[in-house]
Amino acid sequence: MPDNRSEAVKSTNSPTSNPTLLAWVDEMAKLTKPDRIVWCDGSEEEKQRLTKEAVDKGILIPLNSEKRPGCYLHRSDPNDVARTEHLTFVCTRAKEAAGPNNNWMDPKEGYAKLGKLFDGSMKGRTMYVIPYLMGPAGSPFSKVGIEITDSVYVVLNMQLMTRMGRIALAALGDSSNDFNRGLHCTLDLDPEKRFICHFPEDNTIWSIGSGYGGNALLGKKCLALRIASFLGREEGWLAEHMLILGAEDPQGKKHYVVAAFPSACGKTNFAMMVPPARFKGWKITTMGDDIAWLRIGKDGRLWAVNPENGYFGVAPGTNTKTNPNAMASIAHNAIFTNVAMTKDGDVWWEGKDGEPPTELTDWRGQPWTPAAKTPAAHPNSRFTAPMRNNPILSEHADDPQGVPISAIIFGGRRATTVPLVMQSFNWAHGVYLGATMGSETTAAAAGQVGLVRRDPMAMLPFCGYDMGDYFGHWLKIQHRLADPPPIFLVNWFRKSPEGKFLWPGYGENMRVLAWILARAQGTAGAGETPLGWVPRAGDLDVTGLDLTPEQVRQATAIDLTEWGSELESQGELFTKLERTLPPTIRLERELLMARLRN
Ligand code: OXD
Ligand code: MN
């Protein structure tokens, strides 16, 4: 009997007459052979319908409707709980274009290899077509993506994380072919058949075998960082792994900063920070907590837009003290992934408020008590929440132009060496500090946790092209900036020799931010060291902080011997990127080495 399935799916009602889009969806349907096609419109009615379907199939578990109205829990396959960097590929025609920082696959091989896996992969399943917009509607900087997926969990997450449905089709229009083509299928979640392939030259992403956020919500890491960084280089802008926050001082003066930290290093907490009592009258607002698209405005300033519409945050450690605004954001209409569940249908994770309940269901669905040897929530358990739930959401979150940036911050998770804060001497030195940033690995990616690795600008897993060229692109950006924002390096995670954190972090980071903003305006002092400008005693406001002067000294100290070893260990990165490393970056290191030897 002839297989007329693709004929049947073709007749499904589609909400667009865009011929390129229709032809592509048809082609993907012929490949994956779904039983039915559903075009997502992003409506509330659709959300209710798909949520019910997900609940009926056990994909979502409803939570206590009084404690967490509109909230659901999802439990992943235990082997699919984090990004899989070793299975993530950049497929450019020339291997060199992807650079030594990426796994590379020939595009022909990529399409052929994954094509075999996609062939018939949606038989018996529904194929959802998700039109989505990264960035505010009406912004010349926004990008349209279409994600085809077999996962209702992906649809419901994309609904929270992006501007999805009709709004995106309207932005695309009836004739444009300028959209990202994303094809995703969970298949059978077999890690042996898991690949996340990017084809930046075709504005295409094929992801198979995983339902995990960073692998499956294609608008986020795949489009807004890997593909966008590639496009940004061609088009003269930057796609960065950065939060964007606004800070208004008691006099009503507003500034915006961007900050790049690796995954699970506190971007969401910093972006939603509550200033301590000492900083009464200051107001922090959140533009974004993970990704910034940076362009040079007509005024020669750097402007930032958050392409996302929601938060996909790390749950463990989040509580009403560390991040009350995140807690408010997840109070209703949120999806939780791999957290624990209380007896009365609420959520729990390590580091949530109060003592652990005496009985829980852990992230795998097993009974759990505090005597258990394993955590109740997965260390990379997540919440997905609409940004509109955030009580301190910036009034510019939907502004098509974004916000002008006064300072750029880079930061890693480092137990030693890197001081609390340091300002670069100039743009090139700042690019060098970002480029050579090291950080301890976290549970956000599969693999060992706690190893220091170089994570340039927190973009190691996300830069869609050669990292040396990326540094070159950053350096070139300066030429078009009338007044480049100052660049800073921070470290909230330094520890004493006894292994205790030296800095309280969270809201107290406001003290560091206040110094950074004052430096940006030329109103705060600093001392020069061979490494950069640092706050001297008295420059950083530590009034009311529960730390001894010795603790503050230790948190801010620069040990030149430790920096000697740090520079040594940067050597590996320089060797790896040798082919394209800009001479400026090499010279910055040599200059620094010479200063340390003096
Ligand atoms: C994220 C990540 O999910 O960086 O934001 O892994
Ligand atoms: Mn991230």
**What one-character-per-residue DSSP string does 220-272 give?**
IIIIIIIIHHHHHHHHT-EEESEEEEEEE-TT--EEEEEEE--TTSSHHHHHT
In the reported structure, the alpha carbon of residue 382 is separated from the centroid of ligand 1 by a whole-number distance in angstroms of 10
pLDDT at 327: 98
Closest ligand, as measured to the CA of 161: 1
DSSP output for 148-201: EES-HHHHHHHHHHSEESHHHHHHHTTT----EEEEEE-TT--GGG-EEEEEGG
pLDDT at 315: 98
| Ligand 1 site-directed mutation target among 217, 225, 290, most atoms within 8 Å of CB | 290
pLDDT at 589: 96
Does the pTM surpass 0.85? The reply is: yes
Residues with CB under 6 A from ligand 1: 83, 213-214, 263, 290, 312, 444
pLDDT at 11: 40
Atom of ligand 1 nearest to the CA of 214: 3
Distance between CA atoms of residues 334 and 385, nearest Å: 5
CA distances for 479 relative to 41, 301, 303, 425, angstroms: 43, 11, 15, 17
In the reported structure, the alpha carbon of residue 44 is separated from the centroid of ligand 2 by a whole-number distance in angstroms of 27
Residue ID of nearest Cα to ligand 1 atom 2: 263
In the reported structure, the alpha carbon of residue 594 is separated from the centroid of ligand 2 by a whole-number distance in angstroms of 35
pLDDT at 4: 39
| Ligand 1 site-directed mutation target among 196, 221, 223, most atoms within 8 Å of CB | 221
pLDDT at 206: 98
pLDDT at 444: 87
Looking at 40, 185, 265, 463, which residue is catalytic? 265
CA distances for 227 relative to 27, 180, 307, 322, angstroms: 22, 9, 13, 33
Strands 487-490 and 421-423: antiparallel
The answer to whether the CB of 444 falls within 8 A of the CB of 82 is: yes
Q: Helical H runs in 315-396?
A: 324-329
Residue ID of nearest Cα to ligand 1 atom 3: 214
Distance between CA atoms of residues 450 and 562, nearest Å: 19
In the reported structure, the alpha carbon of residue 462 is separated from the centroid of ligand 1 by a whole-number distance in angstroms of 10
Q: Is 516 helix (H, G, I), strand (E, B) or coil?
A: helix
Residue ID of nearest Cα to ligand 1 atom 1: 263
Residue by residue, pLDDT tens for the chain (598 residues) are 334 344 445 445 789 999 999 999 999 999 999 999 999 999 999 999 999 999 999 999 999 999 999 999 999 999 999 999 999 999 999 999 999 999 999 999 999 999 999 999 999 999 999 999 999 999 999 999 999 999 999 999 999 999 999 999 999 999 999 999 999 999 999 999 999 999 999 999 999 999 999 999 999 999 999 999 999 999 999 999 999 999 999 999 999 999 999 999 999 999 999 999 999 999 999 999 999 999 999 999 999 999 999 999 999 999 999 999 999 999 999 999 999 999 999 999 999 999 999 999 999 999 999 999 999 999 999 999 999 999 999 999 999 999 999 999 999 999 999 999 999 999 999 999 999 999 999 898 998 888 889 999 999 999 999 999 999 999 999 999 999 999 999 999 999 999 999 999 999 999 999 999 999 999 999 999 999 999 998 999 999 999 999 999 999 999 999 999 999 999 999 999 999 999 999 999 999 999 998 7
Is 197 marked active-site?
Answer: no
pLDDT at 12: 58
